[in-house]
Amino acid sequence: MNDDQHRVPLDELRCRARRLQGHLREAGLGGALFVQNVDRYYFSGTMQGGFVVVPADGDPLVLVRRDPGRAAAESPLPVEPLASARDLAGRIRAALGEIPAPLGLELDVLPAAQVARFEKMLPGAAFGDASRPLALTRAVKSPWEVDRIRRAARTVADAVARIPDLLEPGMTELELAARVECELRLRGHGGLIRMRGFNQEIFYGHVITGPASAEPSFLDAPTGGAGLGPALAQGPGSQPIAPGVPVSVDLVGNHQGYLSDQTRPLCLGEPEEPFGRAFEAAVAIERAVVDAARPGVSAGDLYRVAVDAAADTGFGDRFMGAAQKVSFVGHGIGLEVDEYPFLARGFDLPLVEGMVFALEPKFVFPGRGAVGIEDTYRVTADGVERLTPSPQEMVIVPGR
């Protein structure tokens, strides 16, 4: 559990805090209080229960209620036990001299009841929103983080390479998904997929085919799947895998909490029309976006590149959905699936070296199926590097 290779290096945590502090000052915040699990881990190296306070100047304060002993073993930062949340105000003042003002909160994810609780726990404190400074900080990945994303991507690639041996005629989506998920776990997949968006959730990803793969769902994604019923209304279900109809294998890798995202189609025998041509069109759209991507280019501009390229394929009305289209073609990814930058309409944040995003041009044909591709990319000094190593092709599994 406390192996050094799993421990976040001290220099890594210090660099994250410095970057955040710059964004806090730009936003006019005196500091930030982090409660959400992933955010506390990001700045402290431990997910044990408590609080992390990062002032706009000075060292972070790590206060842990449960379990401080384990937290001290996991984090290279000083960890202070906290007997009760009622002591929070006094401990902040003792360490920092005063409560930072305004104090930023994670208002994108904190429930209103939790915010009201902090107002009572920290009487007289002025509060602000630390969501954007946090998102900008986490958007830029260090080499240490990229290494973990790269390993997550390799886990998925190795599992996907096994599919031709796993797939059998007559198998359902769920049966194939279970076999692929087993391969992922055997290769060290962390199992848990974290999403930040309210009411957004996903399990490993989607292994879906046929009409079910074109079924829209509550998930903010171009494809959703029928799932196993109204309470599990996305992902694989009982749809049988038929010859000639692609299976969309959209999997999120997880290595030590860091995620990758990859989609590849596979097909029992040669794909029916128009799936083969639509897949080649998706690959061409991805290449167009990749050719345009570099530091300084707006994420929103890359979305427009994708939409313009899709319009020239003959499948533009099926791009990123049919009746219910999504207004993005990519999303940042790291500890959570939905991080900055979003390659989305109106999202005009410029790319910065070190950002990591998943690019997923897909086509949806209602009543028939869906096909597309997805890869995870790192922004380099002069372009982007693909981190997902699977060949960019449809996997054709001969009928047996």
pLDDT value for 323:
82
Q: What pLDDT, on the 0 to 100 scale, is given for residue 1?
A: 42
Same domain, 133 and 156: no
11 and 73 assigned to the same domain: yes
Tell me the one-letter amino acid at 362: K
For residues 131 and 201, membership in a common domain is answered with no
CB 363 within 8 A of CB 281: yes
DSSP string spanning 282-316? HHHHHHHHHHH--TTSBHHHHHHHHHHHHHTTT-G
Q: How far apart are the first and last CA of the chain?
A: 44
Specify whether 111 is located in the same domain as 251: no
336 and 360, same domain (yes or no): yes
Domain boundary among 78, 105, 138: 138
Pair (92, 146) in one structural domain: no
Residue that terminates a domain, selected from 138, 167, 189: 138
For residue 171, the 8-state DSSP code is -
**Together in a domain, 107 and 148:** no
Q: Do 166 and 116 fall within a single domain?
A: no
Is 118 in the same domain as 195?
no
Cα separation, 358 vs 108, in Å, equals 22
Query: Could you read off the pLDDT tens digit of each residue along the chain, which spans 400 residues?
Result: 445 678 999 999 999 999 999 999 999 999 999 999 999 999 999 999 999 999 999 999 999 999 999 999 999 999 999 999 999 999 999 999 999 999 999 999 999 999 999 999 999 999 999 999 999 999 999 999 999 999 999 999 999 999 999 998 889 999 999 999 999 999 999 999 999 999 999 999 999 999 999 988 899 999 999 999 999 999 999 999 999 999 999 999 999 999 999 999 999 999 999 999 999 999 999 999 999 999 999 999 999 999 999 999 999 999 999 888 999 999 999 999 999 999 999 999 999 999 999 999 999 999 999 999 999 999 999 999 999 999 999 999 987 5
Name the token pair of 189.
Answer: 């997949």
Domain limits for position 348 = 140-397
Separation between Cα atoms, residue 335 and residue 333, nearest integer Å: 7
Q: What's the pLDDT score for residue 400?
A: 58
Overall domain count for the chain: 2
- Which one of 138, 171, 189 terminates a domain? 138
Residues 91, 121 contacting (CB under 8 angstroms): no
Judged on CB neighbours under 10 Å (0-12, 13-18, 19+), 60 is buried
Question: Looking at residue 103, what is its pLDDT?
Answer: 98
User: Quick one: pLDDT at residue 6?
Assistant: 84
Model confidence pTM above 0.85: yes
Q: How many residues does the chain have?
A: 400
The CATH number that applies at residue 75 is 3.40.350.10
- 336 and 379 together in one domain: yes
Within this chain, do residues 173 and 310 fall inside the same structural domain, yes or no? yes
Q: What is the pLDDT of residue 2?
A: 45
For residues 123-146, one letter each, b for 16 or more C-beta atoms within 10 angstroms of the residue's C-beta and e for the rest, the string is: eebebbbbbbbbbbbbbbbbeebb
pLDDT value at position 11?
Answer: 98
> Within this chain, do residues 254 and 353 fall inside the same structural domain, yes or no?
yes
